[in-house]
Amino acid sequence: MEAIIEIGYLLATLSFILGLKFMSSPKNAKTGNLIAAIGMVMAVVLTFVAGYTETVPYTNLIIMLAAIAIGTIVGKRLSDKVEMTGMPQLVSLFNATGGGCAMLLGLVEANPMHLQETELTSQILLIAGLITGAIAFTGSIIAERKLAGKVKDYRTMGVVFSARILLLLMILLPVIYFFGLLPIGFAPFVFALAGLAMIYGVLFVLPIGGADMPVVISLLNSITGIATAFTGLVYGNKVMIAGGIFVGAAGIFLTLLMCTAMNRSLMKVLAGKFKKSTGAVSEEDQEIKEISVSETALALSFAQKVAVIPGYGLAVAQAQHTCAQMQQLLEKRDCTVDYIIHPVAGRMPGHMNVLLAEANVDYSRLKEMDEGNEVMSQYDVVLVIGANDVVNPAAENNPDSPVYGMPIIRSHEAKQVIVMKRGMSKGYAGVVNDLFEMDNCSLLFGDAKISLQEIINQLKLI
């Protein structure tokens, strides 16, 4: 039986690796998700079987099975119900449950009934898993609440200072305890640490800007992975260790990739800092050209090559299906339509890919930023739909701009650029967009979905 379980664990681990590999391309991401999910089911079943002995009371089995059933039903319902724009919140909520599990396992294992078997190494690992799990648990809940707009940024010296003191305590207290200088038992000590770590999770996330939450969620995801790996080490469970390491590594890589694509250091994101704009014009002072729906439709009807650059506004307007309809209509008129995707367009990694996949846009039509930039001058019309920061030429031309250094899609190099947005609001980085004043750029004001529908209506008449 032991050999079957070991082979099963190996297969589950392989499925995680294969799943991650597949998830690196939007085309195979669904398959990757399915493979990894099968591996996870296998890991859960095998762990259940491995831990079963005749001495396990039936009531325990019933409680565990009931917990799995409730978790599955609630998870499925939440996933079915969630809007695409609410995805980062859901990821954060699921992440909180992962962190919470790691914390609870630590608390259960600190129970005096288990203590006589617990060696020093296990105690250290248990504390590491418990602290990281507790931070991920409360941190993820606050991140979810902030994304939902229910909790505001709270950046005061008091919060930042208290968070630093707590962090120091969480590092120092275990050292003092293991040197025998704290006269309390292991269980109460572990419970106290869990309390401190939960408060730290709250104070750690509270000061960070609401719009930076996707980066923080990715970081918290990584912390949950690390907590799982520590807990796996306590139990000697190989698949838990491997799964935790994969999540931890993938989370930290994603965090760093997002920071690179935004040209901001992780420290600045965590401190909630944006470089201040110096002497820039305000959006009201910008000299812009407006374009009407019929003029846009006319420009598109004459174009042979069109590029769509989607951004956060496409998600807000839920305009992906209407956009795909416009694409089909243009293609019927022998026009080539490409989508150029910036790695941090929207508010979560792969946001635009997910939206376009939902609208059944063929993957072959999607170009990555560099690929699109190479052929930008060939496009007759570029439609920027609800994107702002990711097309701001100030990132390349203005060293004083807060977005300077961020890689952008060079839509301004196309023959004509039409930016679809509702008003003159700034994007996430809060800076004025130099693109709007360029000679080849015009702005089509209105909700993206409504404007696209009107363009379709006009195109049908031309």
Residues in the chain: 462
- Specify the residue for token string 């078997």: 117
Q: Closer CB to ligand NAP, residue 173 or residue 387?
A: 387
The CA distance from 410 to 414, in Å, is 8
**CA 366 to chain CA centroid, nearest Å:** 20
For residue 305, the minimal CB distance to ligand NAP (Å) is 22
Q: Which of 292, 279, 281 is nearest to 433 (CA)?
A: 281
Q: Closer CB to ligand NAP, residue 13 or residue 347?
A: 347
Cα distances (Å, whole numbers) of residue 427 to 190, 245, 263, 379: 45, 35, 15, 24
For residue 348, the minimal CB distance to ligand NAP (Å) is 5
Please provide the DSSP assignment of 70-107 as one string.
Answer: HHHHHHHHHHHH--GGGHHHHHHHHHHHHHHHHHHHHH
For residue 349, the minimal CB distance to ligand NAP (Å) is 5
Output the residue with the shortest Cβ distance to ligand NAP: 427
Give all strands of the β-sheet with 381-385 in edge-to-edge order: 366-368, 336-341, 305-310, 381-385, 417-421, 441-445
Please state, as a whole number, how many other Cβ atoms lie within 10 Å of the Cβ of residue 380.
Answer: 17
In what helix (H) or strand (E) does residue 306 lie, and over which residues does it extend? strand 305-310
Is 400 among the catalytic positions? no
- Specify the residue for token string 């902030």: 146
Q: Closer CB to ligand NAP, residue 17 or residue 256?
A: 256
The CA distance from 246 to 174, in Å, is 27
- For residues 292 and 446, the answer to whether their CB atoms sit within 8 Å is no
For residue 445, the minimal CB distance to ligand NAP (Å) is 8
Residues that bind ligand NAP (CB under 6 A): 211, 214-215, 258, 262, 311-313, 316-317, 344-349, 351, 386-390, 420-423, 425, 427-429, 447-448
For residue 392, the minimal CB distance to ligand NAP (Å) is 8
Q: Which is the catalytic residue, given 212, 338, 389, 434?
A: 389
- For residues 273 and 208, the answer to whether their CB atoms sit within 8 Å is no
Q: Closer CB to ligand NAP, residue 145 or residue 351?
A: 351
Q: Closer CB to ligand NAP, residue 173 or residue 443?
A: 443
**Which segments of 237-342 does DSSP mark as H helices, in order?**
238-262, 266-271, 293-302, 312-317, 320-332
The CA angle 223-202-40, to the nearest 5 degrees, is: 35
Instruction: Show the tokens assigned to 340.
Output: 């150029």
Q: Closer CB to ligand NAP, residue 163 or residue 391?
A: 391
The CA distance from 31 to 8, in Å, is 20
Q: Closer CB to ligand NAP, residue 163 or residue 309?
A: 309
Please provide the DSSP assignment of 229-255 as one string.
Answer: HHHHHHHT-HHHHHHHHHHHHHHHHHH
Positions marked catalytic:
389
